[in-house]
Amino acid sequence: NFPEKVSLVEVGPRDGLQNEKAEVSTQTKVELVDLLAEAGHRRIETGSFVSPKWVPQMADSGDVFARISRREGVSYSALTPNTKGLENALAANADEVAIFGAASESFSQKNINCSIEESLARFAPVVEEATAKGKPVRGYVSCVLGCPYEGEIAPEAVANVTRKMLEMGCYEVSLGDTIGTGTPFKTQRMLDVVTDVVPVDKLGAHFHDTYGQALANLYVALSNGVSVIDSAVAGLGGCPYAKGASGNVATEDVLYMLDGMGISTGVDMQKLLKATSFIMHSVGRKPSSKVANALMDA
């Protein structure tokens, strides 16, 4: 059931940098996005139109969108939690947008200040208006393998929100292991329940690597036919409203695994490492990616 090709969604500029303590300049973000496109990424989550009081790191997303060198065939996307976010994303000419909800009530409250039910009611006009403007909408479900506030989350709750987002008009739903607590059998059980109600080709896997389980869980997702994987250059990332969340699974680690398995992505490792090196010099750390550390010059 393994896919022949995987579509990588590079979330470093958004999920990665939204959690960065050090200030990252707009120019650095722009250069990072351009280097990622250069490396062959076709889907780049470039920014987030959320409240700057909640996530100050993303306050300059409009400027980032204005200054990137758009490449043909590359989709530059943004998070939009409500119609205000969508207006800003449309003004920035984002190619696609994403709504983001959760399978956990407590996480929904902490992250977007409303219940799951309220969030879906809030997303409906976002999806409708974006679709009318020709912008595809992606959905995210957080806490699919555990919640920082509630612990275990029932796979049925994941399936339920996923189905509702697809019915609303999302073209794809990305399943977020927000705090990286998932393990392989748990991932399989969750996917069993979710793929009972929605087709596997509508799903993406968005796994954080807090406990070092992301690649093992991704292997399980791939074996089920999941062919869309979210990852962040250098393993940047986390969610400011999810205690204990560390970075997304590193793009370099995912790419090394997929290259080794003969699954094509269109992303070139050597060019990707230029982006890795660039952003890690900018934030003054070493990448958390094992592969990047193994392959990069000191």
Q: Which residues are catalytic?
A: 239
The radius of gyration computed from the CA coordinates of the chain, to the nearest angstrom, equals 17
Interactions with Mg ion, residue window 126-155 (CB under 5 A): none
Which helix or strand (DSSP H or E) is residue 194 part of? helix 184-197
Strand partners, 78: 47, 97
Shortest spacing between CB 18 and ligand HMG, in angstroms: 6
236 contacts: CB under 8 Å, gap ≥ 6: 12, 15, 16, 17, 19, 20, 247, 248, 279, 288
Position 50 contacts ligand HMG (CB under 6 A): yes
Binds 140: which of Mg ion, ligand HMG, none (CB < 5-8 Å by kind): ligand HMG
Position 217 contacts ligand HMG (CB under 6 A): no
Largest interatomic CA distance in the chain: 50
* Angle in degrees, 0-180, between the axes of helices 155-168 and 184-197, rounded to the nearest 10: 40
Shortest spacing between CB 134 and Mg ion, in angstroms: 26
Distance of CA 23 to the CA centre of its chain: 21
**According to CB under 5 A, which one of 15, 45, 60, 172 is a site residue for Mg ion?**
15
Shortest spacing between CB 33 and Mg ion, in angstroms: 17
**According to CB under 6 A, which one of 8, 32, 36, 55 is a site residue for ligand HMG?**
55
Position 181 contacts ligand HMG (CB under 6 A): no
Task: Draw the binding track, 73-112, toward ligand HMG (x: CB under 6 A; -: no contact).
Answer: ------x-xx-xx--x-----------x----------xx
Instruction: Give 16 or 287: the residue with its C-beta nearer to Mg ion.
Output: 16
Interactions with ligand HMG, residue window 237-266 (CB under 6 A): 239, 241
Q: Using CB under 6 A, list all residues that contact ligand HMG.
A: 15, 18, 48-51, 54-55, 79, 81-82, 84-85, 88, 100, 111-113, 140, 142, 176, 178, 206, 208, 239, 241
